[in-house]
C-alpha cells in the first residue's frame, strides 16, 4: 500500500518522456495499492458559484489561488465528488484545482429559462471554456472521465491553446455521430442498454422517477470491485435533483444516437469533431477494467500526436479518480511535467 512518503516521492519523481511514435504503456500497482487513500475526504468544502456563458456554475476549489490551474471534469452519473480525494492531493502539491458541476448537476443552473437544455458535446465543452474565461484562466491542465473525457478531448482538439496537458480516462471520447449509427455485435450493444431506454418516452419518465436507484445501479455495474458505501453514493446523488438533470441526460444520449437535434450555433464545432481530429497536447491516457479489451489503449493511440503515455489501472472500474485517487493525481502531476 502506498504510504504518504512513497506518494511524496512519486510526486517528486521526474516524468519519463514518452516517444511520439510508440505507445508507452505501463501498468499501475495492484488494485489494493491503487485504492490507497480512497475515501479519506467526504466534503468538497464550500461550493463556489460564478456566471459563465449560459450558466451559473457551481464548482469545488482546492489549493492556492496562484497555483498552476487544473480543471477536473466529472462524468455521468457522477459529480465533483469523484475528485474529493484528488483535489486535496493536488492542492498539497501546489495546484489550484477546479472541479465544476456540469450543466444539469448540483447547483449549476441556467441563467435563462428559455435556454435549450442541450447535452451535446460541443455545448458542454464550451461551458468549461466559459468557466475558464470567467475565472481568468488562460490555460490549464485538464482531466476527465466519461462525459468529462469527452469534454476535455473536445477542448484539446478545438482549443489546444487552452490546454497545457491532459489526463484522459478511456482515451479518445469524441462522439462520431455517423459511427454511432452503425450497429455493434450483440454483446457490445448489451452494454449500452440505458441509451436505448433513454431513447423512449418510457425511459425519460422512468429515469425522472427512479433516477436515484437507476444511477446507483449504474455505479455498481460499471465499478463492480469498488465497495462504496451508501453515504458515498448519497453525497453525489444530491446532484441528480437538479431541475434540469433529466432533460440534459436524456438529450445527451438521444443526441448521440441522432434522435434529437443539436443547436445551430454548435454546428461549426460539430463539423470539425465529425472528422475525428487528432489531439496534439501532452497526454496521459488511463485504461481500467471498465474498458475491457480496449484497456491497453491501442485502439486510440494514433489519435494522440504529442508527448504521450498510457497507464493501465487493473482492478479499477469506471469512476477512476474516486476509486484510485492517488495514481490519478500522480498522472496529473506527471503530465504537467511532460
* Per-residue pLDDT tens over the stretch 201-234: 999 999 999 999 999 999 999 999 999 999 999 9
- Please state the length of the chain: 338
pLDDT score of 1 more than 50 = no
pLDDT score of 119 more than 60 = yes
pLDDT score of 13 more than 60 = no
Residues 282 and 168 sit within 8 Å (Cβ to Cβ): no
- Per-residue pLDDT, 40: 83
| CA nearest neighbour of 295 among 303, 309, 285 | 285
| CA nearest neighbour of 162 among 185, 131, 190 | 131
- Per-residue pLDDT, 29: 62
Average pLDDT over residues 286-292: 96
- Per-residue pLDDT, 60: 98
- Backbone dihedral region for residue 58 (phi beyond 0: left; psi -120 to 50: alpha; all else: beta): beta
pLDDT score of 179 more than 60 = yes
d(CA 330, CA 292): 23
Condensed to tens digits (0 to 9), the pLDDT of residues 298-321 reads 999 999 999 999 999 999 999 999
Average pLDDT over residues 34-51: 89
Classify residue 88 by its DSSP letter.
H
232, 235, 241, 242 alpha-carbon torsion, rounded to 10°: -120
Angle formed by the axes of helices 4-12 and 325-336, to 10°?
Answer: 20
Average pLDDT over residues 128-147: 98
Residues 166 and 281 sit within 8 Å (Cβ to Cβ): yes
Condensed to tens digits (0 to 9), the pLDDT of residues 253-266 reads 999 999 999 999 99
Element (H or E) spanning 70, and its range? strand 68-73
Residue 34 pLDDT class (50, 70, 90 cuts): confident
Q: Considering Cα of 248, then 250, then 252, then 255, what sign does the dihedral take?
A: negative
Q: What percent of the chain lies above the pLDDT cut of 90? A: 84
| CA nearest neighbour of 301 among 15, 16, 25 | 25
Average pLDDT over residues 108-137: 98
Q: Residues 229-264, buried b or exposed e (16+ Cβ, 10 A)?
A: eeebbeebbebbebebbbbbbbbbbbbbeeebebee
Reported pTM: 0.91
pLDDT score of 277 more than 80 = yes
Place of cell 504521450: 308
Residues 17 and 307 sit within 8 Å (Cβ to Cβ): yes
d(CA 242, CA 107): 7
- Per-residue pLDDT, 320: 98
- Per-residue pLDDT, 187: 87
Place of cell 484528488: 86
pLDDT score of 82 more than 70 = yes
Average pLDDT over residues 154-171: 98
Classify residue 47 by its DSSP letter.
P
CA angle in degrees (0–180, nearest 5) for 259-261-264: 165
The overall average pLDDT reported for the chain is 91
Residue 18 pLDDT class (50, 70, 90 cuts): very low
d(CA 182, CA 216): 29
Which comes out higher in pLDDT, residue 12 or 108?
Answer: 108
Residue 294's CB is within 10 A of a number of other CB atoms, namely 13
- Per-residue pLDDT, 170: 97
Average pLDDT over residues 111-116: 97
- Per-residue pLDDT, 39: 81
Amino acid at each position: 500500500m502506498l504510504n504518504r512518503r512513497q506518494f511524496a516521492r512519486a510526486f517528486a519523481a521526474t516524468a519519463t518522456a514518452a516517444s511520439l511514435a510508440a505507445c508507452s504503456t505501463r501498468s499501475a500497482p495492484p488494485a489494493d495499492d491503487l485504492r490507497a487513500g480512497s475515501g479519506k475526504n467526504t466534503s468538497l468544502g464550500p461550493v463556489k458559484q460564478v456566471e459563465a456563458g449560459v450558466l451559473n456554475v457551481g464548482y469545488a476549489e482546492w489549493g492556492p489561488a496562484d497555483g498552476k490551474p487544473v480543471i477536473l471534469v466529472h462524468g455521468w452519473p457522477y459529480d465533483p465528488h469523484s475528485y474529493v480525494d484528488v483535489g486535496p492531493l493536488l492542492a498539497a502539491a501546489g495546484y489550484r484545482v477546479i472541479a465544476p458541476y456540469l450543466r444539469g448537476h448540483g447547483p449549476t443552473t441556467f441563467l435563462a429559462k428559455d435556454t435549450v437544455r442541450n447535452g451535446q458535446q460541443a455545448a458542454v465543452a464550451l461551458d468549461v471554456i466559459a468557466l475558464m474565461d470567467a475565472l481568468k484562466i488562460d490555460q490549464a491542465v485538464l482531466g476527465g472521465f466519461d462525459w468529462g473525457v469527452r469534454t476535455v478531448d473536445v477542448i484539446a482538439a478545438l482549443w489546444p491553446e487552452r490546454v497545457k496537458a491532459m489526463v484522459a480516462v478511456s482515451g479518445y471520447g469524441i462522439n462520431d455521430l455517423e459511427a454511432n449509427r452503425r450497429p455493434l455485435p450483440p454483446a457490445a450493444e448489451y452494454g449500452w442498454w440505458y441509451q436505448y431506454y433513454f431513447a423512449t418516452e418510457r425511459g425519460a419518465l422512468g429515469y425522472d422517477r427512479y433516477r436515484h436507484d437507476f444511477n446507483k445501479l449504474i455505479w455498481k455495474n460499471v465499478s463492480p470491485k469498488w465497495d462504496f458505501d451508501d453515504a458515498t453514493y448519497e453525497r453525489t446523488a444530491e446532484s441528480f435533483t437538479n431541475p434540469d438533470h433529466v432533460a440534459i441526460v436524456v438529450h445527451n444520449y438521444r443526441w448521440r444516437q441522432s434522435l434529437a437535434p443539436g443547436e445551430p450555433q454548435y454546428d461549426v464545432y460539430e463539423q470539425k469533431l465529425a472528422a475525428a481530429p487528432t489531439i496534439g497536447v501532452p497526454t496521459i491516457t488511463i485504461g481500467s477494467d471498465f474498458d475491457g479489451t480496449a484497456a491497453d489503449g491501442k485502439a486510440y493511440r494514433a489519435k494522440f500526436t504529442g508527448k504521450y503515455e498510457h497507464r493501465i489501472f487493473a482492478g479499477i472500474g469506471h469512476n477512476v479518480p474516486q476509486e484510485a485517487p492517488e495514481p490519478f493525481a500522480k498522472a496529473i502531476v506527471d503530465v504537467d511535467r511532460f
